[in-house]
Chain A
Amino acid sequence: MNEDKFNIMLSGVGGQGLMLLSETIGRACSEMDKKVITGEQHGLSQRSGSIYVHLRIGEDAHSPLIPYGEADLMVSLEGMEALRNIEYLKPDGHIISSNRLVHHPIETNKVVEEEVEEYITIEDIVEKLEEVTENIYMLDSLSLAKEAGNPRTENVVLLGAVTSIPNFPLERDVLKEVVKETVPEKTIDVNLKAFELGYEEGSKNR
Chain B
Amino acid sequence: MAVQDIIDPKSKKTFMIGNQAIARGVLESDVKVTAFFPGSPTNEILDTLYILSGEFEDLKMEVSANEKVALETAAGAAMAGVRGFTSMKSVGLNVASDTFFTLGYTGVNAGLVLLIADDPHAHSSQSEQDGRYYAEAAHVPMLEPSSAQEAYEAVKYAFELSEKYEVLSLIRTTTRVNHQSSNVEIDELDRTTSEKKSWKDVHKKFYTLGAKARKLKENSLNKLENIQEDFEESSLNRVIEGEGTTGIITSGVSFLHVQEALQVLDLDMPVLKLGTTYPLPENTIMDFVDGLEQVIVVEELMPYLEDRITQLAKGSELEIRGKRSGDFGMVGEYDVPRIVNGISSILEIDSPKDYDKFVKKAEELKEILPKRTPIFCAGCPHRATLWALQQAIKDKDYVFNNDIGCYSMFLLEPYEITDSLLCMGSSLGLSSGMQHVLDEKVIAMIGDSTLFHAGLPGLVNAVHNQHDLTLIVLDNSVTAMTGQQPNPGSDFGPDEVTEIDIESVVKSLNVEKVKKINSFQPQDNVDDIVEMIEYQGVSVIISEGPCALYHDRLKRKQGEPIIPNRVDDDTCRSIYKCVRNFYCPAIELNMDSSHTEIKKDLCDGCMVCAKLCPINAIESTGGEKDE
Contacts and interface: CB of A to CB of B under 8 A. Distances in A.
Interface of A: 3, 13, 15, 22-23, 26-27, 29-30, 33, 35-50, 60-65, 67-69, 80-81, 83-84, 86-88, 102-113, 118-120, 124-125, 128-129, 131-132, 150-152, 181-182
A68 B368 CA distance: 20
Interface in B343-361: 353, 355, 357-359, 361
Most A CB within 10 A of own CB, among B40, B44, B365: B365
Contacts of A103: 370, 588-589
B459 interface: no
B436 interface: no
Nearest to A183: B1
Given A30-B15, A63-B335, A104 B591 contact: no
Contact of B362 (A86, A102, A181): A86
B358 A40 contact: no
B601 interface: yes
Given A40-B17, A67-B337, A105-B585, A84 B181 contact: no
A56 B339 CA distance: 18
Interface stretch (B255-263, B305-313, B490-498, B529-537): B255-263
B617 interface: no
Given A109-B579, A112-B580, A49 B484 contact: no
A139 B241 CA distance: 48
B461 interface: no
Given A47-B602, A67-B337, A106-B370, A119 B627 contact: no
Contacts of A36: 15, 181-183
Nearest to A13: B372
Nearest to A116: B370
A49 B374 contact: yes
Contact of A40 (B124, B180, B481): B180
Given A49-B372, A80-B370, A111-B589, A26 B15 contact: yes
Contacts of A41: 123, 179
Given A13-B372, A37-B180, 5 more contacts: A46-B481, A48-B374, A67-B335, A108-B587, A109-B579
A63 B591 contact: no
B442 to A, nearest CB: 28
A46 B358 CA distance: 30
Given A37-B180, A106-B371, A63 B589 contact: no
A68 B359 contact: yes
B489 to A, nearest CB: 18
A38 B253 CA distance: 12
B525 interface: no
B369 A83 contact: yes
Given A41-B123, A84-B366, A103-B370, A62 B256 contact: yes
B480 interface: yes
Contact of A45 (B372, B414, B480, B585): B480
A146 to B, nearest CB: 9
Nearest to B383: A105
B555 to A, nearest CB: 16
A150 B627 contact: yes
18 contacts: A23-B15, A44-B406, A45-B482, A46-B376, A47-B602, A67-B335, A67-B337, A68-B355, A83-B366, A84-B369, A87-B361, A104-B370, A108-B579, A112-B579, A119-B591, A120-B369, A151-B627, A152-B627
A180 to B, nearest CB: 12
B237 to A, nearest CB: 18
Contact of B181 (A13, A38, A62): A38
Nearest to A128: B365
A3 B302 CA distance: 33
Most B CB within 10 A of own CB, among A41, A108, A112: A108
A47 B627 contact: no
A63 B549 contact: no
Contact of B260 (A38, A62, A150): A62
B77 to A, nearest CB: 28
A181 B587 CA distance: 35
A22 to B, nearest CB: 7
Contacts of B374: 44, 46, 48-49
A156 B582 CA distance: 33
B304 interface: no
B358 A69 contact: yes
Contacts of B263: 3, 60, 62
B585 to A, nearest CB: 4
Given A40-B180, A69-B353, A104-B585, A63 B260 contact: yes
Contacts of B264: 67
B608 to A, nearest CB: 13
A118 B378 CA distance: 23
Contacts of A38: 17, 180-182
B198 interface: no
Contacts of B182: 36-38, 64
A30 B14 contact: yes
Interface in B1-25: 1-2, 13-15, 17
Given A63-B335, A67-B336, A42 B41 contact: yes
Contacts of A87: 358-359, 361-362
A124 B368 contact: yes
B483 interface: yes
Contact of B370 (A15, A65, A86, A110): A110
Nearest to A184: B1
B583 interface: yes
A67 B355 contact: yes
B181 A26 contact: yes
Nearest to B408: A44
B421 to A, nearest CB: 15
Nearest to B362: A87
B209 to A, nearest CB: 41
A174 B257 CA distance: 30
Interface in B580-602: 580, 582-585, 587-589, 591, 601-602
B377 interface: yes
Interface in B147-193: 147, 176, 179-183
B150 to A, nearest CB: 12
Most B CB within 10 A of own CB, among A86, A132, A150, A152: A86
Contacts of A104: 370-373, 375, 585
B195 interface: no
Contacts of A182: 1
A197 B355 CA distance: 37
Given A87-B358, A105-B585, A109-B414, A67 B256 contact: no
B413 interface: yes
Contacts of A26: 15, 181
B365 A83 contact: yes
B378 A47 contact: yes
Given A30-B13, A61-B260, A62-B256, A118 B591 contact: yes
Interface in B247-275: 253, 256-257, 259-260, 263-264
A107 B370 contact: yes
B265 to A, nearest CB: 12
B101 interface: no
B626 interface: yes
Nearest to A182: B1
Contacts of A131: 361, 365
